[in-house]
Amino acid sequence: MARITQECVARIKDSADIVELLSKYLQLRRAGNSWKACCPFHSEKTPSFHVNPARQTFHCFGCGVGGDALKFIMMFENLDYPTALRRLADMNGIPVIEEEENPEMARLRRMRARVVEANTLATEYYHRKLCRDAAAAHVREYLKQRGFGIEIARAWQLGWAPPDFREFGQLAASRSMDERLLTEAYLLGRGQRGLYPVFRDRLMFPIHNVRGEVVGFSGRVIRADQDPRKYVNTADTAAFHKGELLFGLYKATGPIGKAGMCVVVCEGQLDVIACHEKADIRNAVAGLGTAFTDEHARILRKYAKKAILCYDGDNAGIKASEKTFRKLAAAGLEVYHASLPPGEDPDSLIGSSGPEALREAIDTARPYLEVRVGQELAMIQGDANARAALIPRMADLAAEITDRNRRDVAVADLATRLNTGLEALRETVEGIIRTRKESPQSAPAEPQWEPGEEEEFPVAGEPMQEAPRRVIPITLHNVIRDILFLAASNSEAQALLLERIEELQEPIRWLSGGVVLQRFMECLPAPGDDEAWQAFSSQLPPEQSAALRYLEHSPVDFPDAAAVVDSTCANAALAALKAHVDQLRSRINAPGISWQDAAPLLEELNELQKLINAAE
């Protein structure tokens, strides 16, 4: 797909009226100077999805999603950036102007399109063979034993590649697809004895990009004695790059948003399909093969803020989950771990204990490091030397967490569990981070450029300046962000919140980003006063100021500001209670704690849980 000129991109974005556009998808109702609706990205009965025509943005107070018209189309229609841009242009009658391609790029684009065309034909052919061919009975029986019926096979376009390639070769030739194209698509391989079919007698999983195009395949062996390779994947082609594709992502982007920007990461294709079709967990994806890459993590960061690892409960699964945690944490995601019983994977757990068991494991997922250190401590069984040896290993994992607030929480929990000094452990972690910055080979990958971001390049002849230190924004809890938005955009809401400042002290204390809210309530810049806002923002530390970069602060009218403030404060109180409970659980579960010390903590936890149950 040729690149659209920057001038055309600007014209397409400027042409969109967000209220008019979203009215085609949602039942918007006027609310003062803004509009509201029930959020399409999560289940709710009371509208918390607000559209601001002045800023041409949307924001949901329920799940935290927000953005402009283009972001809405990407999320609602499950489209990537270039496709959503073209869709928006088409909706507004804007002709798309593309940059002139050089001959080589044009050739590659045409080849990519032809490879996708060949893959699409192969998908249809493999699927027909699976459903109808008597020779595929063993594959159908395998799927049946695993609990995957024909309807699931249709939904995921599963297929069977027969041992003999001649029938498909003739079909391809009838569509003007020669052996050269089939080789480019890696449907045929070239060996010493000539051409051979890459996929023979395998269960075929089509691999889609986020646009839903079939760009390659993963073929699973069914007969154990036919090939030692359990899976064979398409090699790199004009359309397929293994390290940049996630199985199931094209189906999961919408559900990820509806799940509060949360993605479930599995190990294998059948686990993903089981999550979607058997347990209604439709925000699940998997890498291809064993290696989860930096690029996989970067792609997921576009759609999610939180990742739940749902790996096998065996030693191999534990090792694989640790590698994946490193990639996801370094990319800025908050990583949790769903604990599965030893020997179980998502699909087998559904088979043995039902889909509710898997849903419960995901719903009760704990922060990854908390689970990981618990696994290690269980294995060493109180050995003091082994526990001491764990400290640098766990510190190395904690150093992957880019968000300082989350890292501080993780380090404090590790210090308690490992029975070591907090300050000493924190300094160890910070030392690892400094070392990585000084040694590029061991440093996490820098974030890649994404559409819409701008870069400044030095003018020819000007001296290169030293790059500024990269500022990583602190995380603002969704509730803290909502309170800031109310106080920054509506004078009545600001006054009401100021009256309830004592009530807000618990959320400020327990929720990430509370310090920013505390400073805001001390300064109280007037809504719409850009100069006062800049003055407030400039006095904050860089990581706090950066967190406010995209927070709206222009005036917004609320028909019933008091009701909105009441609801938001109630959410804040509930979130603070839950955060307090989480901390108590960490203290209760700390290794070596006596019953005498744990008893009052348990009593306090039970009282807090009663308050949470009453509030919910």
Choose the weakest-confidence range: 99-103, 240-244, 250-254.
99-103
- The residue with greater pLDDT, 600 or 456, is 600
pLDDT, residue 193, reads: 78
How does strand 262-266 pair with strand 284-286? Answer: parallel
pLDDT score recorded for residue 127: 97
Q: Residue 459's pLDDT is what?
A: 34
The CATH number corresponding to 103-240 among 3.90.980.10, 3.30.470.20, 3.30.420.340, 3.30.1490.190 equals 3.90.980.10
Residue 552: pLDDT band (50, 70, 90) is low
Higher pLDDT, 443 or 81: 81
Q: What is the reported pLDDT for 156?
A: 97
**Least confident span in 33-42, 321-330, 461-470:** 461-470
Q: Which of the pair, 332 or 592, is modelled with greater confidence?
A: 332
Residue 441: pLDDT above 60?
Answer: no
- Model confidence band, residue 466 (pLDDT cutoffs 50, 70, 90): very low
**In the predicted structure, residue 472 carries a pLDDT above the cut 70:** no
Select 6-91's CATH number: 3.40.50.1820, 3.40.50.300, 3.40.30.110, 3.90.580.10: 3.90.580.10
* pLDDT surpasses 80 at 289: no
> What gap in Å lies between CA 49 and CA 343, rounded to an integer?
43
- Report the 10 Å Cβ neighbour count for 356: 11
Alpha carbon distance 259, 65 (integer Å): 10
The answer to whether residue 1 scores a pLDDT higher than 70 is no
| pLDDT greater than 50 at residue 444 | no
Arithmetic mean of pLDDT over the chain: 85
pLDDT digits (tens, 9 = 90+) for 163-200: 999 999 999 999 999 999 999 999 998 877 788 899 99
State the pLDDT confidence band at 465, using cuts at 50, 70 and 90.
Answer: very low
The CA distance from 526 to 524, in Å, is 6
Contact partners, residue 488, CB within 8 Å, separation at least 6: 494, 520, 525, 527, 533, 551, 552, 553
Nearest residue to 332 (alpha-carbon basis) of 69, 532, 67, 546: 546
Q: Which three-class secondary structure string do you get for 508-567?
A: HHHCCCHHHHHHHHHHCCCCCCHHHHHHHHHCCCHHHHHHCCCCCCCCCCCCCHHHHHHH
Are the beta carbons of 7 and 97 closer than 8 angstroms? yes
The sheet carrying 57-60 orders its strands as 29-31, 34-37, 49-52, 57-60, 66-67
Give me the percent of the chain exceeding a pLDDT of 70. 91
pLDDT at 386: 85
pLDDT of residue 460: 35
- Cα–Cα distance measured from residue 392 to residue 428, given in angstroms and rounded to the nearest whole number: 8
> What integer is the mean pLDDT of 573-590?
81
pLDDT band at residue 463 using 50, 70 and 90 as cut-offs? very low
pLDDT class for 368, splitting at 50, 70, 90? very high
DSSP secondary-structure letter at 46? S
Check: CB of residue 94 under 8 Å from CB of residue 11: yes
Cα-based distances in Å from 412 to 215, 427, 434, 585, 597? 45, 12, 19, 13, 18
Structure confidence at residue 215 as a pLDDT band (50, 70, 90): very high
Could you tell me which residue, 91 or 105, shows the higher pLDDT? 91
Residue 590 confidence (pLDDT) = 64
Contacts of 191 (CB under 8 A, 6+ apart): none
Q: What is d(CA 325, CA 393) in angstroms, rounded to the nearest whole number? A: 14
Identify the three-state secondary structure at position 155.
helix
Select the CATH number that applies to the domain covering 249-364 from these four: 2.60.120.1440, 3.10.580.10, 1.10.510.10, 3.40.1360.10.
Answer: 3.40.1360.10
| Tokens standing for residue 456 | 């400044």
Given a cut of 90, whether residue 549 has pLDDT beyond it is no
Tokens of 56: 């041409």
Most confident of 71-80, 278-287, 388-397: 278-287
Would you say residue 525 has pLDDT above 70? yes
Residue 74 has a pLDDT of: 86
Give the span between the Cα atoms of 312 and 377, in whole angstroms: 19
Per-residue pLDDT reduced to its tens digit, 118-160:
999 999 999 999 999 999 999 999 999 999 999 999 999 999 9
Residue 450 has pLDDT above 60, yes or no: no
Confidence check: pLDDT of 538 > 90: no
Cα 69 to Cα 72: distance, rounded to the nearest angstrom: 5
Structure-derived torsion over alpha carbons of residues 306, 309, 310, 311, reported in degrees to the nearest 10: 170
What is the band of 510 on the pLDDT scale with cuts at 50, 70, 90? confident
Decide: helix, strand or coil at residue 52.
strand
Is the per-residue pLDDT at 379 higher than 60? yes
Q: What percent of the chain has pLDDT over 90?
A: 38
User: What is the reported pLDDT for 469?
Assistant: 45
Q: List the domain boundaries for the chain.
A: 6-91, 103-240, 249-364, 372-442, 478-615
Which position has the higher pLDDT, 69 or 254? 69
Closest CA to 87 of 13, 19, 23: 13
Predicted local confidence at residue 439, as pLDDT? 61
